[in-house]
Amino acid sequence: MKRSQLWMLLVLAVVVLGSAIAVVHAKYRSRVLFGELKALDAQVDEVAIEWERLLIEHGTWGTPAHIEASARKKLKMRMPRADEVIIIKGHHGS
């Protein structure tokens, strides 16, 4: 075998080895990134569940019954008796 053929064979072997290493590295990175993707998918699911919970909680806090109960408990408010109610009549546009 000629010296030039040996050099060509050596270069070809190095290129094939480099290509094999690149394939292994690409496969490894693919698996790592896929794992990260699955972790982020799980995180998205958790955030969506938390969002739904917060929407329900927001709806609950805004109901008239909850507001009234909170006013009674925290502010010691109550409905006025009939003799405590004063009706004020205003003049409209005349």
Going from N- to C-terminal start, the domains of the chain cover: 3-76
Are residues 71 and 77 in contact, defined by beta-carbon separation less than 8 angstroms?
Answer: yes
Alpha helices in 62-75 (DSSP H): 64-74
Tokens of 69: 């109960």
Tokens of 34: 């896929």
pTM beyond 0.85: no
CA distances from 21 to 8, 11, 14, 18, 27 (A): 20, 15, 10, 5, 10
CA distance 45 to 39: 10
- pLDDT of 21-52, one tens digit each? 999 999 999 999 999 999 999 999 999 999 99
pLDDT at 60 over 90: no
Q: Give the pLDDT score at 1.
A: 80
| pLDDT above 70: residue 93 | no
